[in-house]
Amino acid sequence: MLGKGEAQAERLWPKASEEESARRNNPADWQRYDFAASRVTGARVLDCACGAGYGTSLLGRGGAARAVGVDVAADALDWARGEYSSQVTEFRQASGDTLPVADGEFDCVVSFETIEHIAEDRAAAFIAELARALRPGGLLLLSTPLTYGSARLHPENPFHLREYTPSELETLLRSHFDIDERLGQHSRLSRRFAEIARTPGFGSFIRSGVHRLLPRVIRRVLRDVLLHPSGNGPECWIASDRWQEAAVQLVVATKR
């Protein structure tokens, strides 16, 4: 899971009293937890890599019988306990490959934007540990960037060790889970990117991931000129429609 240095760059640190502004500033992160909260009523839920705890709190407020957040970073957990402790939330310190939970302790495990931070040779063990925490028939809600081409092996984000195509993620999950739903978290930017990627010639260049090898300043110019999103629709949304074109892939799976 995220180390301390990564925590400063990748995690959100919202105060409970500032949720409204935090949602405006980072809508995608909150939207994933809103999605999860709609599916955990009455459930015992584990939030793996909970960070500063706002998502664990949302799960508890969404109707979970119990919401346990686990993270490796002590500073994040101190923040979580200070801001988001309640009768149904609890926070524990541990790495994702050695979860401090009993076998089958939970009805649902949430793992959002975590597996891309795990070395490829440890990914299967991480998935197995998530499965161990779940009862048979329990639900896994997992999200991770959706990436094609060579970019998945050398992610642009310096804190990501490995990103996954849809088929690669399915291969990782299938030894323990049956996939019930494949969804995408779209944004206006990712939808525009998908439109550009379908352009003959230029599309194959985009899908190959070669553009990520260009200097960062040139990539920014390309993004601003070619991918500038337009319209007044929502900033982001989760849907099954055209999920393969989304920026983030979200899986709903059942433990066998």
Q: How confident is the model at residue 134 (pLDDT cuts 50, 70, 90)?
A: very high
Q: How confident is the model at residue 153 (pLDDT cuts 50, 70, 90)?
A: very high
Section 215-236 average pLDDT: 67
Section 4-11 average pLDDT: 52
Q: How confident is the model at residue 6 (pLDDT cuts 50, 70, 90)?
A: very low
> Residue 131 pLDDT more than 90?
yes
Q: What's the CATH code of the domain at 28? A: 3.40.50.150
225 part of a folded domain: no
- End-to-end CA gap in the chain: 25
195 part of a folded domain: no
192 part of a folded domain: no
> Residue 199 pLDDT more than 80?
no
> Residue 5 pLDDT more than 60?
no
173-189 tens-digit pLDDT: 999 999 999 999 998 76
Domain with 245 in it: 4-187+232-255
Task: State how many domains the chain has.
Answer: 1
105 part of a folded domain: yes
Q: What is the pTM of this model?
A: 0.84
54 part of a folded domain: yes
Share of the chain above pLDDT 70, in %: 80
109-127 tens-digit pLDDT: 999 999 999 999 999 999 9
220 part of a folded domain: no
28-87 tens-digit pLDDT: 999 999 999 999 999 999 999 999 999 999 999 999 999 999 999 999 999 999 999 999
In this prediction, residue 7 carries a pLDDT of 44
87 part of a folded domain: yes
